[in-house]
Structure 1
Amino acid sequence: MGGHLAVVDLLLRQNAPVNCKDNHGNTPLWYSTSSYHDDVTERLLTENDVDVNTVGGGGRYDEPSTSLHHLARRTDTVVLRWFLARPTLDPSICAGFQSPLRLGITEGNIAVVRLLLTHKELEMNARYTLGDSPLCLATERGDVDAVK
């Protein structure tokens, strides 16, 4: 993948701050999940103090999101499982007017929805004040699998 992992590994060995942010509030973990660099994501998750809850996407073209939001858009659940195993993960953070659960429902990713529902800290109805709850959204869309 273009040597991204080698560069990240080198920088971390030189004690580069794992949670550094760019001008838009995006961290290396946010970038690795948004750009599908799963090897880099896996490496960053080995750092004990990596912040898995950072809300980034403050740039001109990005909606606010967390790494978990990026993973809720994907059909592959391998990296999502890595995140759900992190004890500091807050699976209910709303960003860009939706929670990861709501985003999984919107994307039609039932495997993601089922996996998110296994997290003991998930607030099933987490939402911004302007948005419907995930259950309301699934019901409105007629998504029987998500409602179940």
Structure 2
Amino acid sequence: LNYACEKGDINIVELLLKNNADINNKDIKGKSPLITSCDYGYKDIVELLLANKTININDIDSTGRSSLIYACIRGNIDIVKLLIKYGINVFIEDKYGNNAFYYATEKGNYDILKLLLQSG
């Protein structure tokens, strides 16, 4: 599932989910399929994963980064909107003590920062 999310293959992701693939399984870097999809910017896959009731939306990788932090780093406002809609914790900090607000500001993504401020 992680590999299909990395490659952006929504058809394989759907097939694997229908066959009970572990939606919260982590790769060697500690990334879940949701984190990977947010990192690569695959909005349709993110939406598909979020619709699954067993997903851990607040999961973090080995650096402590959440899917929201990756979406903020990449400047993907559509994915940020989805994650907020599904109730992600906007205050999760990585192992450096930085959160989504920090990364949105650092990258100059002020529209994302505004969304975060409105949701938090």
Say yes or no: TM over 0.5. yes
Higher RCO, 1 vs 2 (CA within 8 Å, ≥6 residues apart): 2
Larger Rg: 1
User: TM (normalized to structure 1)?
Assistant: 0.70
CA contact (8 A) 1:74 1:109 kept: no
What CA distance in whole angstroms lies between the structure 1 residues aligned with 2:12 and 2:100?
Answer: 30
Deviations 1:78-106 (A, max 9, x none): 1111100113x211000042110011111
> What percentage of residue pairs aligned between the two structures are identical?
25
CA contact (8 A) 2:34 2:67 kept: yes
User: TM (normalized to structure 2)?
Assistant: 0.85
| Consecutive unaligned residues in structure 1, runs of 5 or more | 123-148
| Consecutive unaligned residues in structure 2, runs of 5 or more | 1-5
What CA distance in whole angstroms lies between the structure 2 residues aligned with 1:33 and 1:11?
Answer: 18
Which protein has the bigger helix share? 2
What CA distance in whole angstroms lies between the structure 2 residues aligned with 1:2 and 1:27?
Answer: 14
The equivalent of 1:110 in structure 2 is: 110
Q: Aligned match of 1:15 in 3, 17, 20?
A: 20
Structure 1 vs Structure 2 CA RMSD: 1.8
The 5 A counterparts of 1:21-100 are 21-56=26-61, 58=62, 63-87=63-87, 89-97=88-96, 98-100=98-100
What CA distance in whole angstroms lies between the structure 2 residues aligned with 1:2 and 1:86?
Answer: 24
CA contact (8 A) 1:69 1:99 kept: yes
**Residue correspondences, number:** 114
* Cα gap change, 1:40 to 1:99, in 2 (>3 Å): same
